[in-house]
Structure 1
Amino acid sequence: MALAQGQEPKAILIKNIKLIDGTGGPVLKERSVLVENGVFRMIGHSSDFQALKDVTIVDGKGKTMIPGLVGVHNHLHIPGFPFIGEVASKLYLASGVTTIQTCGAASAKREIALAKKIAAGEAIGPEIIPSGPYITGKGGNPNMIIPQNEIHLRDTIRFWANQGVKWLKVYRNIEPEFLKIVIDEAHKRNLKVTGHLCSVTFKEASEMGIDAIEHGFNSVSYFRSNKKTGTCSGTREYIDTLDMQSKEVDDLLHRLVKNGTALTSTLSIYEASIPSRRFIDERSAEIMAASFREDFQHLKDQPDQKEINAIREKRFKRIMEFEYRFYQKGGILSAGVDAGRHVLPGFGDKRNFLLLLEAGFTTLEAINIMTKNGALKLGRSDIGTIEPGKRADFVILDGDLELDPKVIEKTEKVYSNGKPYDPEVILESLKGKYGE
């Protein structure tokens, strides 16, 4: 029985599929998965499902099933465009991203409104975990919230909590005393706090109780030379010279893990800064508005940048190593696209998977990072893995992901809360609209 876009069947049985369930456990071969009323009900072999009636059957032979991706640095804005939610949300869903944490909002009220529309079934897209506006400090971006005093800051947080935000993001210039207030007031109101840090070190923020830190090694200020306490200052030569096996690095990683501070990997956007790695795939080009494509072509046509390329390529490997070591020590490493440049929402999430493999993670570990660990960062137990009782967010890939990593790009069908969506139909409707 064919289903219309977003039409929820009473029951679905996906038969004989290769299953990567997101838990980090082994690949399960020739499994069948029963979904009823938007929830995973049973996982087993085909012989376990003999007496079912009124069930939509999906043949999974030759395909791979993974949980819906949980993107936890997935903005609804990009530089120059303060809100691209209507297009970005559909791009996320078409790529198999069924939950996003926006990690800072440029248009918080519009973001909250879109989240409510999707939750009500009035628009399609992933579940949106909305953020408040960025909070920074003196000398920071004037478009962000710059606290005047404690009363102002606490009132601001209370206002956005009442509007429906779930996360607050602090930015590079936040003063330590104000970060403490943000964390305190947020936690009183069951909000979580993450940060793109500079003025405050990872160690300091972790000890204050921050829930997560973004971008990993690329924004570690702990090792800066000539850094002044509480200010975004000092040199960044640590990125190129620090001994990654040193006791100082090991101690920092241990502290983050011990304190339960999650880290978010954003490899695809950093890759886009490396001249030799800049590329635009055909599908992305089709989605981009003409002027947006032209801007990227201008970037590609810049003079030879061999020196910049060598420096950034080396840094990229060190960023990867930091994340790999954090994960191996038991840290909660999650992932998000941080869309920008020529890296599109959703498309960049899938690119993250391939970059995590390049960093040394296995296929099972990469899926675990992009699904279960995203849910752990969010404090959610109802999503992130394919297990009985959890919400039926999942993706069917056309091929064997275990044998061919590029199968991550072959998204055949996306199910959000048990409802099926055809990625090709969604993408066809978005051609030429990104960056209009």
Structure 2
Amino acid sequence: MFCRAITATLTAGLASLAVSAAGTAQPPESLSDSVMRHVRIDAPRLALTGLQLIDGSGAPARQDQTILIEDGRILAVGDRGGVTIPDGFDVVALDGRTAMPGIVGLHNHLHHPGVPVSHFAAPHLYLAGGVTTLFSAGSAAPMAELNMAGAVARGLGPGPDMRIAAPYVTGPEGNWVMPRPATPQAARDFVDYWASAGVAGFKLYRHVTPPIAAAIIDQAHTHGLTVTGHLCSLTFSEAAEMGIDRIEHGLISMSDLVEDKPAGECVSTLSSLTEADIDGPAVSAVIDTLVAHDVTLTSTLAIIESHFAHRPQGEPRALEMLSPVERAAYDARQTALAERRDTTRFTPALFDSILAFERRFAEAGGRLVAGPDNGRHIVAGYGDQRNLELLVEAGFSVPETVQIMTHNGAVELGLGEDRGLVQAGYRADLLILNGDLTADPAAIRTLEYVIRDGLAYDPASLAETVRGEVGLR
């Protein structure tokens, strides 16, 4: 079983933690039964024909496309009449389907509240939802996550290519289970240790103090690693000037507009955001600062939506994945949410401003990426799909949204020449949807195949394996 294989790898020690950034495709014979039970097409040479293609570049969709895949890489892409299918290729006719790159998630946790590492449900569900590469954006059990990523890379279980973050870093008033380096030197030592363990980046959390944040950012950069942040004590502008690489959650975590905000202290932002003019000079100044300092913004609209009573809540297929305890917690939250429907905090106007802020940031030249921040009833994979729908609601075209969720994420992870586009030479990570995504963003829910490294997985099989397991393992 995959979970026992993961447990075994946890004893391997730091020497086994490194995961190859190249992501070289593995032949089916090297993959375990736990993987192959979900694979529907494992032909080494594959021709997909008749597709509508949204290639991840932001360009308009192209019709009647043929995609050739050989040994886990895209060999050729083009019009049906312009691509010759060589002998020895298995041909799969996919008329009426849409192809797009696999999702590259930038805020895709491998834990669930109360479960420090979701070693079984998360990898299955991310792949079932179309996520083929992810960054965990803060770890609750980094050693376990590093070993889990290594186990998937060796073919012991199904899942995306997983890039693991170090533990969250917070301050004296922050979450007690998170590291709180007492001095800048302790912060630098923390970075050195986790960099040597093989993490892909670091995350600052709400109460981190400015000196510690600055030390983490500076030291991470000496290792060629990035730093993101769920900010509160720091304003977006302060973090940008420190050199932070990425900021999570967008407008909802922005404290720049709080009047007389105490320096270095985490305070509520909701009142300032409810009253904010999203098109006004104060917000424009923040956006300009982020763009000038080349700060990427991670959209997490799926989890943000869950706080708003007027918005759709748990979809049935996601609720079916929750354990009985998690489902009961969802029901209790929905009762509480209904009771505060008339709140003056989480208003329809604020949600509209959150959407508009992300659109304005991108229009100003900022790089937008996405991830669901799974928790509550936002489960791995399905939350990523909901993000796509919400970004389209925010005003992005479907091709722009696909670019945000695929190639932008790959570029942010330093993988822009390897994945995130459906082009010749790129890794064969792509999704086949049984519908027209350009006509209906909800077609993202109709995944027929998730192709990772050239192998076509069955999303329904992956999801069924972990039904009722979210919040357990």
Range class of TM-score, shorter chain: over 0.9
Residue 331 of structure 1 corresponds to which residue in structure 2? 366
**Residue 218 of structure 1 pairs with residue 217 of structure 2:** no
- Percent identity over the alignment is 38
Superposed CA deviations along residues 119-140 of structure 1, whole A, max 9, x for unmatched, are 1111110010100000011211
**Pairwise CA distance, 1:358:** 1.2
**Residue 86 of structure 1 pairs with residue 82 of structure 2:** no
**Residue 407 of structure 1 pairs with residue 443 of structure 2:** yes
Does the 8 Å CA contact 2:255/2:269 hold for their aligned counterparts?
A: no
**Pairwise CA distance, 1:3:** 10
**Residue 156 of structure 1 pairs with residue 184 of structure 2:** no
**Pairwise CA distance, 1:220:** 0.7
**Pairwise CA distance, 1:225:** 1.6
Superposed counterparts of 1:201-280, under 5 Å: 201-233=235-267, 236-280=270-314
Residue 321 of structure 1 corresponds to which residue in structure 2? 356
**Pairwise CA distance, 1:102:** 0.5
TM-score by length of 2: 0.89
Of residues 407, 410, 413 in structure 2, which corresponds to 1:375? 410
Q: Partners in 2 of 1:97 and 1:336 — Cα distance? A: 10
**Residue 342 of structure 1 pairs with residue 377 of structure 2:** yes
Does the 8 Å CA contact 2:77/2:83 hold for their aligned counterparts?
A: no
Most deviating of 273-282 and 365-374 = 273-282
Residue 335 of structure 2 corresponds to which residue in structure 1? 301
Does the 8 Å CA contact 2:254/2:269 hold for their aligned counterparts?
A: no
User: For residue 355 of structure 1, what is the amino acid of its counterpart?
Assistant: L
Most deviating of 131-140 and 249-258 = 249-258
Of residues 89, 93, 97 in structure 2, which corresponds to 1:55? 89
Does the 8 Å CA contact 2:76/2:83 hold for their aligned counterparts?
A: no
SS at match of 1:159: helix
Does the 8 Å CA contact 2:430/2:452 hold for their aligned counterparts?
A: yes
Note closer, same or farther for the CA distance 1:56–1:3 as it changes in structure 2 (3 Å cut).
farther
Note closer, same or farther for the CA distance 1:310–1:162 as it changes in structure 2 (3 Å cut).
closer
Structure 1: segments with no counterpart, 5+ residues: none
Structure 2: segments with no counterpart, 5+ residues: 1-35
**Residue 431 of structure 1 pairs with residue 467 of structure 2:** yes
**Residue 37 of structure 1 pairs with residue 67 of structure 2:** no
Note closer, same or farther for the CA distance 1:287–1:233 as it changes in structure 2 (3 Å cut).
closer
Superposed CA deviations along residues 13-35 of structure 1, whole A, max 9, x for unmatched, are 11110000010011111110111
Does the 8 Å CA contact 2:274/2:345 hold for their aligned counterparts?
A: no
Q: Partners in 2 of 1:365 and 1:72 — Cα distance? A: 17
Does the 8 Å CA contact 1:274/1:309 hold for their aligned counterparts?
A: no
Residue 386 of structure 2 corresponds to which residue in structure 1? 351
Superposed CA deviations along residues 383-425 of structure 1, whole A, max 9, x for unmatched, are 1111111111100000111112211100000011111100111
Note closer, same or farther for the CA distance 1:243–1:414 as it changes in structure 2 (3 Å cut).
same
Note closer, same or farther for the CA distance 1:359–1:258 as it changes in structure 2 (3 Å cut).
same
Superposed CA deviations along residues 131-152 of structure 1, whole A, max 9, x for unmatched, are 0000011211121110121222
Q: Partners in 1 of 2:316 and 2:268 — Cα distance? A: 41
**Residue 69 of structure 1 pairs with residue 103 of structure 2:** yes
Does the 8 Å CA contact 1:89/1:125 hold for their aligned counterparts?
A: yes
**Pairwise CA distance, 1:361:** 1.2
User: For residue 308 of structure 1, what is the amino acid of its counterpart?
Assistant: T
Q: Partners in 2 of 1:32 and 1:168 — Cα distance? A: 40
SS at match of 1:138: coil
Superposed CA deviations along residues 26-79 of structure 1, whole A, max 9, x for unmatched, are 111111011111111111122234351111212120000010001100001122
Does the 8 Å CA contact 2:73/2:453 hold for their aligned counterparts?
A: yes
User: For residue 259 of structure 2, what is the amino acid of its counterpart?
Assistant: S
Note closer, same or farther for the CA distance 1:199–1:22 as it changes in structure 2 (3 Å cut).
same
Of residues 34, 42, 45 in structure 2, which corresponds to 1:11? 45
**Residue 178 of structure 1 pairs with residue 212 of structure 2:** yes
Residue 420 of structure 1 corresponds to which residue in structure 2? 456
Note closer, same or farther for the CA distance 1:310–1:106 as it changes in structure 2 (3 Å cut).
closer
SS at match of 2:145: helix
Residue 168 of structure 1 corresponds to which residue in structure 2? 202
**Pairwise CA distance, 1:310:** 7.2
SS at match of 1:263: strand
Note closer, same or farther for the CA distance 1:68–1:225 as it changes in structure 2 (3 Å cut).
same
Q: Partners in 1 of 2:323 and 2:269 — Cα distance? A: 38
Does the 8 Å CA contact 1:76/1:85 hold for their aligned counterparts?
A: yes
Of residues 311, 318, 321 in structure 1, which corresponds to 2:346? 311
Does the 8 Å CA contact 1:212/1:377 hold for their aligned counterparts?
A: no
Does the 8 Å CA contact 2:38/2:458 hold for their aligned counterparts?
A: no
Q: How many residues align?
A: 435
Most deviating of 45-54 and 210-219 = 45-54
Q: Partners in 1 of 2:374 and 2:303 — Cα distance? A: 7
Most deviating of 66-75 and 307-316 = 307-316
Note closer, same or farther for the CA distance 1:278–1:291 as it changes in structure 2 (3 Å cut).
farther
SS at match of 1:198: coil
Q: Partners in 1 of 2:451 and 2:437 — Cα distance? A: 18
Q: Partners in 2 of 1:401 and 1:280 — Cα distance? A: 22
Note the aligned Cα RMSD (angstroms).
1.7
Does the 8 Å CA contact 2:170/2:179 hold for their aligned counterparts?
A: yes
SS at match of 1:311: coil
**Pairwise CA distance, 1:236:** 3.7
Q: Partners in 2 of 1:293 and 1:233 — Cα distance? A: 31
Note closer, same or farther for the CA distance 1:278–1:299 as it changes in structure 2 (3 Å cut).
farther
